């Protein structure tokens, strides 16, 4: 029996999912990147996107005039990120590395983004590295897209748990709160979470592709388990969305943190 991708570990799980990932995952809303840009110094230095995957955060950073480096340990994901950005102005390049060992000099970055990836990192080690490369006054943005639940997503969740009993709660629900490791890190002052609601049109086939891009779904099912899961998923979709088209509602959450030197751990007040 061929093992599912998730058995390969956090940096390898997305390799076999890269095509579905690039095609079917939602992007992040523009107001989130505008809010990030407003917080940056006029000449912020490099922007590092760590755990950049297929590059969902790269174009929004480049479009706002930043000089961007992608950091990603998975080569299949990284090669899609590279082809997505081309070689326009601002693009410095991509580095195959983990967040826990950034091959970059201290203080080179004025901005670090981590989109939908911080939960894969060893949090303390990654934050120590991010604090090292981020200059004082620089901004860290931990970002997640959170699927807003409704009876359809509840049924999909129940279906996934049945096919993948190892799966617990949807990981993204907890991402609306400031990660504890960031809140207690002495090198950052963290703002209250900022939420940016958005939506996108959805179809049955796109949703199936989307589901196969999830580590706990496409990444956790064996070749033999995929067809019965897909049949049931399509039945669930048709029960809730008989027209085959609907609107997916998401909220993107951003935890903005400013790099400070020699401060006690704290979270900023509202
Ligand atoms: C869910 S994807 C997010 C990709 C992209 N940032 C986005 O928003 O679509 C998570 C990414 O984190 C990467 N990753 C996993 N462990 C990592 C680590 N320790 N350091 C850096 N990246 C890691 C994975 O290879 C994957 O590409």
Angle at 41 between CA 35 and CA 43, to 5 degrees: 120
Q: What is the pTM of this model?
A: 0.93
> Rounded to the nearest whole angstrom, what is the distance from the C-alpha of residue 85 to the centroid of ligand 1?
17
- For residue 53, the CA-to-ligand 1 centroid distance in Å is 5
Q: How far is the CA of 49 from the centre of ligand 1 (A)?
A: 10
- pLDDT recorded at residue 175: 85
Which pLDDT score is estimated for 216? 87
Spans of the chain, pLDDT less than 70:
1-8, 168-173, 262-270
User: 13 C-alpha vs ligand 1 centroid, how far in Å?
Assistant: 10
63-94: string of b/e by CB count within 10 Å (b at 16+)?
ebebbbbbbbbbebbbebbbeebeeeeebeeb
CATH number among 1.10.275.10, 3.20.20.80, 3.40.50.150, 3.40.50.720, domain 5-267: 3.40.50.150
Q: Which residues pair with 194 in a beta bridge?
A: 254
pLDDT by residue (tens digit) across 240-258? Answer: 999 999 999 999 999 999 9
Q: Are residues 217 and 106 in contact, defined by beta-carbon separation less than 8 angstroms?
A: no
Ligand 1-lining residues (CB < 6 angstroms):
10-11, 14, 25, 50-53, 56-57, 72-74, 77, 98-100, 115-117, 120-121
| Rounded Cα–Cα distance for residues 146 and 257 (Å) | 20
Quote the pLDDT of residue 51.
Answer: 97
Domain boundaries, the chain: 5-267
């Amino acid at each position: 029996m061929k093992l599912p991708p998730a058995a390969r570990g956090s940096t390898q799980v997305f390799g076999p999912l890269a095509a579905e990932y690039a095609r079917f995952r939602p992007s992040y809303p523009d107001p989130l990147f505008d809010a990030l840009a407003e917080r940056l110094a006029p000449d912020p230095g490099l922007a590092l996107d760590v755990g950049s995957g297929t590059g969902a955060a790269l174009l929004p950073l480049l479009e706002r005039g930043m000089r961007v480096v992608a950091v990603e340990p998975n080569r299949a994901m990284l090669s899609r990120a590279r082809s997505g950005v081309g070689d326009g102005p601002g693009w410095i390049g991509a580095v195959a590395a983990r967040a826990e060992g950034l091959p970059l000099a201290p203080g080179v970055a004025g901005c670090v983004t981590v989109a939908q990836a911080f939960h894969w990192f060893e949090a303390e080690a990654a934050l120590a590295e991010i604090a090292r490369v981020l200059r004082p006054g620089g901004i860290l943005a931990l970002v997640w897209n959170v699927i807003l639940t409704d009876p359809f997503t509840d049924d999909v969740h129940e279906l996934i748990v049945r096919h993948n009993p190892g799966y617990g709660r949807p990981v993204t629900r907890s991402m609306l709160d400031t990660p504890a490791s960031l809140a207690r890190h002495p090198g950052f002052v963290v703002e209250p979470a900022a939420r940016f609601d958005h939506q996108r049109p959805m179809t049955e086939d796109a949703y199936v592709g989307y589901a196969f891009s999830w580590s706990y779904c496409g990444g956790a099912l064996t070749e033999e388990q995929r067809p019965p899961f897909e049949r049931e998923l399509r039945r669930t979709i048709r029960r809730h969305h008989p027209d085959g088209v609907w609107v997916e509602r998401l909220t993107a959450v951003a935890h903005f943190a400013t790099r400070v030197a020699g401060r006690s751990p704290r979270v900023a007040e509202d």
